[in-house]
Structures are given as structure tokens and as C-alpha cells.
Structure 1
Amino acid sequence: MYISREDLAAAVSRTELIQLSNDDGYGSEPDWAIVDRAIAYACELADGYLMGRYTLPLDPAPSLLRPICTDIARWWLHQRRINTADFPKPLEAAHANAVKLLEQIRDGKIHLGVRVGDTAEPSGGAVEQAHGERGAYQVRANSRQDWSGY
């Protein structure tokens, strides 16, 4: 996980967290199970963008992912309550920016500062030769046929 309950609680007021997570109209505490679902959603979405570029899970988590995941989790909590047409503009902009940043990380335009040895390499598959060398294809074919008489 790239964020914790405490990270999310620091990003929103306690009252807002209670209103967004507690389905009991008279609740005085956040529903931590719902908060955990928002956190899981945000972190899994981030992993979906990072999967092809980095070996997951990233540990320790790069600090750049904390505000991104926080904005996504906050958006997830709000979408439980608000029609998306009525979303507050700053919240919608923060979510759109978070997704844009994840796309830029995925595309290699923004780097997380993870050591090169920690990045994922695409699997060699057919490209990887038996002795582990990458870059050349091995091809098997039947023996050559003489088509010169045709």
C-alpha cells in the first residue's frame, strides 16, 4: 500500500471522512472498512499503471505516489455520495491530475526514483535464447526446399 489511513485522514477533515465513509447517518467515527476499500482501490489503480514498468510492490513506496493515491482515494470516497456531474471542480481536477501523472509514469515521462535494478524487464519469451542472451530470435524451420524449377 502506498498510503495509509493516517495519510488519508490528514488529507481530509475528520468530519468529511465520517460523512464520506460512514453510512449510518448518526455515526461519529469513520467506517474504516470503507476507508480501507478506498485506499485499496487507489493503490491497485496505481499498480495497474506501474505494472509494466516496475517490479511490484514498490517497497519502499516512492513519496510521489502518496499524493497521487490520496487524491484517487478521496475521489473514490466522494463518488460514493455525489453524482459525478456535481463533483467539486478542485476534487475532479485533482483526480484527473493524479491519473495523468500515473499515465506519465507508465509512459516513462516521469520517473519514480526507483533504482534501475528494481525496474521490471519485459520477459524474454521467444526473444530469450537458451543461454540467457536477449535480443536475437531463435527460429526453427524445415530444411530448405529447392523451388528454382518453378
Structure 2
Amino acid sequence: MYITREDVAAAVSRAELVQLSNDEGYGEPDWQIVDRAIAYACELADGYLMGRYALPLETAPSILRHLCTDIARHWLHQRRINAAEFPKPLQAAYDNAVKLLVQIRDGKIHLGIRAAAAATEKPQPEGGAYHVRGKAKQDWSGY
């Protein structure tokens, strides 16, 4: 997991977290719902990082924590709010998070850790020039 309950709790107010996670709308946040949002955000991030980095990442870079927090917030709000009434800043943060994950996947943004292929490949020795011999060309123009 790239984020914790504390990361999500720091991103939203306690009252908002209660409203988004607790179906009764009062009391304490439903941490099982928050955990589902965290799992969704981390699995989505892993889906984008899968081909580029060896998973699971030992330490989560700070950019990845911010992206997963935005995705988890979006997931929590999506439980409650109609798509037509969705807050524009929240939707923009989610869209930006997915856009950045795509750029990380495509290699345009690097997380500062070794890529999966680089971690498993052994360095190849430098080879010399290759000389290839073959039979002379055949003349098939008469057919």
C-alpha cells in the first residue's frame, strides 16, 4: 500500500470523512470503507506501474502517495455524489492523477527507482563487428 488511513484523513476533514464513509452520516469514519478506497487507489496505480517497475515498490515515492490520495478521495466521493454534481476541483485532481500515472507508465516521468527490466537484466557484453557470408544471389528474372 502506498498510502495509509492517516494520509486520507489528512487530505479531507474529519467531518467530510465521516460523511463519505459512514452510511449513517455521524459518529466515526467507517475505516473498512476507507480501506477499500485505499486498496482501489493502490491497485489502480499498480496497474499503471506494472510493466515499468518491479512490484510491490519497497518505498512509495511522495508523488505516488499524492496521486493515490487523490484517487482514494475521488472513490469516496463517488459513493455519495451524483456525477452531475461532482466537485470540479476533485474531478480535476483525479484526472490529473490518472494522467500522471499514464506518463509514468510511458516513461515520461520517472519515480527515481529502478525499472523492472533494469532490475532483472544482466549487463550484456559489448560485441564486435559481425561478418555474415551467404551464397551469391540467384537470377530469377527469366521466370
Range into which the TM-score falls when normalised by the shorter chain: 0.7 to 0.9
d(CA) in 1 for partners of 2:65 and 2:71? 10
Query: How many residue pairs align between the two structures?
Result: 124
Deviation (angstroms), 1:121: 1.8
With normalisation by structure 2, the TM-score equals 0.81
Matched residue of 1:97: which SS?
helix
Which residue identity does 2:22 align to in structure 1?
A: N
The aligned counterpart of 2:3 is: 3
With normalisation by structure 1, the TM-score equals 0.77
The aligned counterpart of 1:84 is: 83
| Alignment pair present for 1:120 and 2:122 | no
Aligned positions of 1:46-125 closer than 5 A? 46-114=45-113, 116=114, 119-121=115-117
d(CA) in 2 for partners of 1:63 and 1:97? 16
d(CA) in 2 for partners of 1:50 and 1:84? 28
Deviation (angstroms), 1:4: 0.2
d(CA) in 2 for partners of 1:13 and 1:59? 29
**Structure number with larger C-alpha Rg:** 2
The aligned counterpart of 1:44 is: 43
Percentage identity across aligned positions?
A: 77
Runs of 4+ in 1 over 2 A off after TM superposition: none
Q: Which runs of 5+ in 2 are unaligned?
A: 119-123, 125-139
CA-based RMSD: 2.1
